[in-house]
Chains A and B, each alone.
Chain A
Amino acid sequence: MKFPKRLTTATVAVMVAIALGATACSGRSSGSGSSLTVYNGQHEQTTNALVTAFEKESGIHVQVQVRNDDENVLANQIITEGGASPADVIYTENSPALETLQNKHLLAAVAPATLAAVPSKYNSPQGDWVGVSARVSELVYNTDLLKPDQLPHSVMDLAGPQWKAKLALAQGETDFQPIVTSIVASYGVDATTKWLTAIKSNAANNIYPNNETLTDQVNKGHATIGIINAYYWYRGRAERGAASTHSAVATFSPGDAGYIVDVSGAGILASSSHKAAAQQFLAFLVGAQGQEIIAHGDSYEYPIGSGVTTAQPLTPLGSLQPAPLTIAQLGDGSTAISLLQKAQLA
């Protein structure tokens, strides 16, 4: 099987042609003043639905480009980009990424009217980002392996020996950090460190890369119990159908340190040159129309602005009795991270 000379030449020519073509035809379409770039760490479905509605709604025809990635990678990217970032808006699942950017003075102030549409406890205390939706942390458990009356009342109980080889953990997820922060706030650093060491040992064979996998593994019975943001369970059930669902969610006792409300939010970059359009987008997110989309959307999050309430089969936000943890206490999560590192869970 000889490689004919002409074929070789042709191959090289085709290679170069494809390469040039790929380089030439995929330039960025950069609109004039009416395009908005959103760095999105929130679930893609939610953001897509919101963006589509916003583009239709906005009179000045704002074109939104969405860049999807893990919110931490996006925050890192913005930090590395510095003042030259092409991003106008960052939209995340959790507040610590936003707090980090705010602390580095990379966010601009959000319009007061936008902030006012949301209860102040869900916004940045400094006003540099606005809360858009909320989730609650709950227990997920396999219903074949555990009865509701066997469930622990407090997150602290999960450190007990009875959960050895039964507990599942996705401590790498951004959702886990706020729980650690909350335990530090309630019980102090030493108790938290002990708790982390104990749950690490209980979960030794059931540590998962993300909440989706954790929920799935509990549902399959590979693990018995875990802590997640409840919406992962609802979303999982919607994907796999009620018939193959062998798990359920349950809350901790009222006010327990593991029972917390996480806030998803959005901010405008200080370096943005489309601030007016960006403010318009944020106002839309927390306005009645944006909040209705979240209320009916398939992401199973709680709307928190403009008095809109959830249309999904969730315990209403008003009936939840979470730990009294503030956004400021959640902060940028650095204490939680250093404890996770010490416990060698990070």
Chain B
Amino acid sequence: MTDKLKHIAVTVSFLVLTVVISLLCLTHKSIAVSDSERRPLAQMPDYSADKLFSGNYFPGFESYTVDQFPLRDTFRSLKAFIHTKLLGRDDNNGYYQADGYLGKTDYPLNEESLSHAIDRIQFIREKYFGSGSHNIYYSVIPDKNYFLAESAGRPSMDYEKLTQTMENRLGSSMTYVDIFDALTIEDYYKTDTHWRQDRLENVVQTLGNAMGFQNKPEYTVRELYPFYGVYSGQSALPSKPESIYYLTNAVLENCAVYNTETGKTGPIYDLDRFDGQDPYEIFLSGSQAILTIQNPANTSGDRLILFRDSFGSSIAPLLVEAYSEVVLVDIRYVSSALLDRFLELTGEEDVLFLYSTLVLNNSSALK
């Protein structure tokens, strides 16, 4: 090719590419929510002269152009490919692949965040469980990085310091149940943050040993496919779909879940959620402020108050057989100062604070 032809080719290809993409940008219909990233996408900002002259209009417009870019997911995947395969970066926006699992670097230990979480736990203990004969426990769920990071030399938070700090501050008032050794990376979904309900037997046993119950019921494992976990879309790294598993039996099928916020009662597994934005919400319909699982098969009157994050949704059904009632409280959605408006306490409940390191290390949402 001669120099002249090259100049024509460069000029034409650039103009065609930019003009075509521009037209696609202009004609592209706005999308409200990104299914892969699981977040609302920026929309064209409302125009006003005030916004324009104060400099507040164009930042919104910029976000809109990025979020609504045609073939956004394809471009995100292309970026992840270039980033990790051509430029050799180990992670894409903090997400990485290791041993077939998608992980996310959560590093370093945010001591301020941990302290805030401990403050919330202490506040709840003192305000609601300071009197009476409650058995109070707490446990920490390691995130996937705990298992994946070290072997590949990736940075990971100081888990020992995290649990040690909690023990130092909470140790005298409640009992720590260490479940780190009851878990392996195989107990987590490959493409998601969460653990697999069908692989929590060891965790339930460890909790049972500490809390004084023995749950060994028979379950039927059910499978839903295809499941793309939260890391799959957010990382934009290539990943295969997997199955999501849930355990059921006659006892669980007879349980009723009462949602204090909506006043509605439903089943433990909300299978319609599988087709929603977050399929993990099949477990107790996802994170809700206060849920009460009523188990008619257990007439002992024993109650468990479980302070939890989204990991609690999948383990709670496995604890239910030991109790007449399991109350799940998510203080990301209800202020811990207002719980007495919604909770009636007998003074003899078992109390379990069960939080993942992901929430403890990013606890600003705990109210």
Q: Check if A and B associate.
A: no
Q: Tell me the A residues contacting B by CB distance below 8 Å.
A: none
Q: Tell me the B residues contacting A by CB distance below 8 Å.
A: none
